[in-house]
Amino acid sequence: MTLRVFITGASSGIGAALARHYAARGAVLGLVARRVEVLDALLATLPGEHAAYPLDVADMAALREAAADFSTRFGVPDVVVANAGVSVGTLTEEADDLAAFERVMRTNVLGMVATFQPFAASMRARGSGRLVGIASVAGIRGLPGAGAYSASKAAVIAYLESLRVEMHGSGVKVVTIAPGYIDTPMTAVNRYPMPFMLPADEAARRFAKAIDAGTGYAVIPWQMGVVAKLMRLLPNAIFDRVFARAGRKPRGLPL
């Protein structure tokens, strides 16, 4: 049986790498992204029959229409990957950053819920499937200059845990993947050391392995899992002193 995979944020980075990985496995894909030209260019390189949906995950009505179209044409997906996300440096003291906070939360959190919602009941009724949310190690503890992004990814981790429990016993597995640094356009703007960085295609291979296994929570690469555990254990006084000097993502990036 042909694997059916629905991926948001599919035009570049992790999303595009996952699209290439699953297309190589013979899957039929539903690919969602805002940038039409980039999405079409990716689609032209993939073997097999796929569907492209140029839309913003913040547009819930458009996302529901895309989900309905994919399910009608190919059937309810076996794997849904809520990967769409945006990142920008933010400071609470800057009034201009309020719009950035809103955009990040709307895309990273509500966009994930809106991605899963059209499929969740059908997958439960079928008794199988994977709902995959891309979180981040940045959601483990709040990082300076990244209040919006860290808060969004912390919310995503908690949301996915709630969803996992809700789906318990249904046959639908909820998979939380918290990447460390992956070589993508999102990290290309960072001007600070990024340890254990993975190429996007290698990250996609490891993500897919966790998805296939139905792993509830995975930090990739594993080295960042160790870092995440240490970050959890640090007392606030030490964490604050150490991370106050950490590098910060630039503010004012296009979203």
> So which residues are the catalytic ones?
149
Terminal-residue alpha carbon distance, the chain: 38
| Rounded Cα–Cα distance for residues 84 and 195 (Å) | 23
What 3-state class would DSSP assign to 180?
coil
CB atoms within 10 A of CB 177: 23
Please report which helix (H) or strand (E) contains residue 113, including its range.
Answer: helix 111-126
| Rounded Cα–Cα distance for residues 192 and 187 (Å) | 10
Instruction: Find, among 150, 102, 154, 104, the residue nearest to 133 by Cα.
Output: 154
Give CB contacts under 8 A, 24+ apart, made by 37-40.
38/11, 38/12, 39/10, 39/11
Q: Which two tokens stand for residue 157?
A: 């981790």
Cα 79–Cα 87–Cα 155 angle in degrees, nearest 5: 60
Cα dihedral 154, 160, 165, 167, rounded to 10, equals 170
DSSP 229: H
